[in-house]
Amino acid sequence: MNITIKVAKNELRNLFYSPIAWFLAIAFFVQCGVEYTKLLGQYASLQEEGGRSLDEVRELTNAIFTSRNGLFPAIIQNLYLYIPLLTMGLISREINIGTISLLYSSPVKIREIVFGKYLAMLCYNLMLVLIIGVFLFAGVLDIKSVDVGILLSAAFGFYLLLATYSAIGLFMSSLISYQIVSAVSTFVMIGILSRIGTLWQGIDFVRDLTYFLSISGRAENMLHGLISTKDVIYFVLIIFIFLGLSISKLQFGREVRAWFVKAGRYALIVGLALFIGYVTSSPALIAYWDTSANKSNTLTPVTQKILNQFGSEPLEITVYSNYLDGYGWYGLPEQRKLIYSLWEPYIRFKPDIKFNFVNYYDRPLALQYSIFKSYPGKTMSQIVAKRAKADDIDTLIFKTPEQIQKIIDLKPELNRFVMQVKYKNRSTFLRVFDDQLIWPSEYEASAAFKRLLQADMPKIGFITGDGERNSKRRGDRDYRNTFTYKVVRSALVNQGFDVDTIDLNTQQIPSNLSILVLADPRKQLTKVAQEKIAAYMAKGGNMLFAGEPGRQQWINPLLQPLGVELADGMLEQKSEDDPPSLVFTYLTKNGIGLSKRLSSPGVDTLPISFKGTSFLKYHETSGFKVAPLFVTKPSLVTNTSAINPDLSLAGNVQPGDGQESEESPNTVIPGSAQAKAKENDLTISKPEQYFTAVSLEKLIGGKKQRIIVAADADFLSNAETQRYDPRTINPFVSSALFSWLDNGRFPIDASRPVGQDDHIKVSTDRVKVLKIWYIWVLPAIALLFSSILLIRRKRK
């Protein structure tokens, strides 16, 4: 041990008595200073700008230090420029000047030489970590409630990466006597280890081997605050491999051995490391430590509780991938590791999840174009063969439409990429979505898990038969996107609900129905239908009513026992950009309390768009507690009280056409009833606040009955939930309303606490001063000190 320390001290003297070590340390400090002050200034500027820019000033620990554009990734991206220049002379210098012969003839053991030189590099690496630690400490001072756990984890991961690069550089230095060639070889080896994880991914065994050897992304989890034994052991094993190879290489320089003995020792070192890595990467043996303040790398307690309910019974996930679908690429063998990484947070708490992969081809039912038009005159199998040849894929891995049909019917899933989750004799689907995230989040996964455990699924029933809104059609006025369209993440069918239709003229309301929906009937309901609805509510059934201006008389008789009434008239809102019929309503305190999603900053103050709405009058009766949910802003909205019922339909869809009228609901037709009303100045009331949705709740037989009444049916429609307007939160509201109606069972609340690191303590002017210190003053002091040291050393 003493010899190892002496070698390390001597190597450190060689490092710091040469310009290269000082130059790289100063350059590293400057790079850190540039990156830190740039990011700090960017967010300080957004904070001073105020307004909606403040929405960007959140999770600052991640934004400034560990995000894709943060300090750590920027430094790691250029780390390969530093370490090879430091390690290129560790052994090659001894070989080049001939001192290696003296070392061979001395009583010093080879491993003591290697460990001593490596220890010197670890000490230098520690200095680099201390340099970056200056900016971590600055972050503690400059950012409110910075997440120290994430910073320490990131620094630990950074140090392990430095140590691994150093071991690689030491080995390459032992192979080559020329220092420049040694540095270039280190660049190459780091590049190989970074890219090897993308090679030969179509072969199962080779994929596992190359993925283990790949260094790319190994520190990423630690940068975000998640330390796992799998990642730590990986770095230790790679260091073991290259130090072991270095010792063996130098040992063979002292001894004469047959080539197969040398090859055997090298193979033993690599094989032993791979075996240990394979065993310790078993999901059941991996330990995790989430150092983040909000445990942002860990499943929420709600999801953990659901997974624990599975007990020792395994989960089986079968991935069905249609090669002709837009997401079929994700199911190919080359992408298996991506699938595993997506499921890793769940495997952490349920290690016995088993995976199956099925690749097939069939007509994609969700594409907006026909693949046959793109390949005229070709059959489906010919199209697959042509595309597979271009992608260098063996078509034998794909099942034909006939073969997949014998296994499972995926047409209800639109022949898209899906993951079927099985537990015992029950199964459900997890889907990909047409949004930026693509993959199911914890919300959708938790809902799927809970469906496997729960016997009674929440079921929404839509009343049909009298022109009501349809939950399966794609017309602007209908509700497919909100309820049943499987490619939309927020659709309630993806949040745990079953959705069906009920014609009350011919069908009974199922006893297991969770929520009944009556949305905008276009004519008076039959007496039979009204009696069935009244009986359902009398038994304590939950329900949502959504009316429309001009059709209040068809829904008010059902609301009368509740003490709620859709008032006459239609609200209008003045706007330079939008039609008057587009009214923005806002969440009340009761509305915000419907779900945690609605109470999150940046959401709770945004409006819900109502396209042609009446307003509600209410008084508490029959034991119901009534609470307003949405309200208009005062002085912005007026009530057109003398509206003609026929004219109120303008702007809505005519029955069955699925398209909006081009005529605005506020277009005044000469000679019409609306024109006469305007001439008599009877239509506009004084500006005031209007309630557009209320909730009702009471106890019946020990069970809470919950009802929601909305003065507009369009706020849940395809048109409004697809409105490209960052101001509106209609999709969030639909989930929150039905979560409340379902007593919070679904959708699953997988929300997390909001991070407190949402404020920069320094101004942009102060950042300019810090930039001078970090980029110019402190590096200049270090440069002056190193110059004096090197000059004095040279004189001696």
Task: Tell me the per-residue pLDDT of 93-136, one tens digit each, with 9 for 90 and over.
Answer: 887 777 777 776 777 888 999 999 999 999 999 999 999 999 99
Bridge partners (DSSP) listed for residue 693: 630, 710
| C-beta of residue 388 within 8 angstroms of C-beta of residue 329 | no
Tokens at 210, concatenated: 């190359």
pLDDT score of 355 more than 50: yes
Task: With residue 269 as reference, give the H or E element that holds it.
Answer: helix 259-280
- For residues 459-474, give the mean pLDDT: 93
> pLDDT class for 456, splitting at 50, 70, 90?
confident
What single-letter DSSP state applies at residue 760?
A: B
| C-beta of residue 518 within 8 angstroms of C-beta of residue 545 | yes
Please tell me the predicted confidence (pLDDT) of residue 652.
35
pLDDT score of 304 more than 90: yes
First to last CA, the chain: 30
CA distance 772 to 197: 42
pLDDT score of 645 more than 60: no
Spell out a b/e string for 128-164, using b for 16 or more CB atoms within 10 Å of the CB, else e: beebbbebbebbeebbeebbebbbbbbbbbbbbbbbb
CA distance 185 to 491: 54
Instruction: Give, in degrees to the nearest 5, the angle at Cα 710 between 704 and 712.
Output: 160
pLDDT score of 680 more than 90: no
Mean pLDDT of the chain: 88
Which of the pair, 100 or 566, is modelled with greater confidence?
566
Max mean pLDDT range (541-545, 671-675, 788-792): 541-545
Cα maximum dimension of the chain: 114
Angle formed by the axes of helices 229-254 and 148-175, nearest 10°: 20
Please tell me the predicted confidence (pLDDT) of residue 2.
86
Tokens at 135, concatenated: 């900016």
CA distance 258 to 5: 33
| C-beta of residue 254 within 8 angstroms of C-beta of residue 113 | no
Q: At a CB cut-off of 8 Å and minimum separation 6, what does 652 contact?
A: 477, 548, 612, 660, 661, 665, 714
pLDDT score of 726 more than 80: no
Cα 777 to chain centroid distance, Å, stands at: 41
- How many Å is the Cα radius of gyration of the chain? 34
What single-letter DSSP state applies at residue 375?
A: S
CA distance 601 to 46: 17
3-class DSSP assignment, residue 617: strand
Please tell me the predicted confidence (pLDDT) of residue 724.
63
pLDDT digit string, tens, across residues 476-504: 999 999 999 999 999 999 999 999 999 99
Task: With residue 700 as reference, give the H or E element that holds it.
Answer: strand 691-700
Q: At a CB cut-off of 8 Å and minimum separation 6, what does 83 contact?
A: 162, 165, 166, 169, 186
Q: Among residues 163, 170, 138, 168, which one has the least CA distance to residue 71?
A: 138
3-class DSSP assignment, residue 278: helix
The structure's pTM equals: 0.86
Bridge partners (DSSP) listed for residue 543: 516, 707
pLDDT score of 529 more than 60: yes
> pLDDT class for 197, splitting at 50, 70, 90?
confident
Which of the pair, 556 or 673, is modelled with greater confidence?
556
CA distance 359 to 207: 18
- For residues 785-793, give the mean pLDDT: 88
> pLDDT class for 229, splitting at 50, 70, 90?
very high
Please tell me the predicted confidence (pLDDT) of residue 500.
95
Please tell me the predicted confidence (pLDDT) of residue 369.
67
Please tell me the predicted confidence (pLDDT) of residue 368.
64
pLDDT digit string, tens, across residues 571-627: 998 888 888 889 999 999 999 998 888 887 767 788 999 998 999 998 877 789 999
Bridge partners (DSSP) listed for residue 632: 585
Please tell me the predicted confidence (pLDDT) of residue 236.
96
Please tell me the predicted confidence (pLDDT) of residue 672.
40
pLDDT score of 54 more than 90: no
Q: Among residues 249, 92, 277, which one has the least CA distance to residue 169?
A: 92
> pLDDT class for 655, splitting at 50, 70, 90?
very low
- For residues 687-693, give the mean pLDDT: 83
- For residues 764-788, give the mean pLDDT: 94
Please tell me the predicted confidence (pLDDT) of residue 722.
81
Please tell me the predicted confidence (pLDDT) of residue 145.
94
**Residues 148, 149, 152, 157, Cα dihedral to 10°:** -140
Q: How many helices (H) and strands (E) does the chain have?
A: 30, 20
- Residues shown for the chain: 796
* 477: region left, alpha or beta (phi > 0 left; psi from -120 to 50 alpha): alpha
CA distance 431 to 130: 46
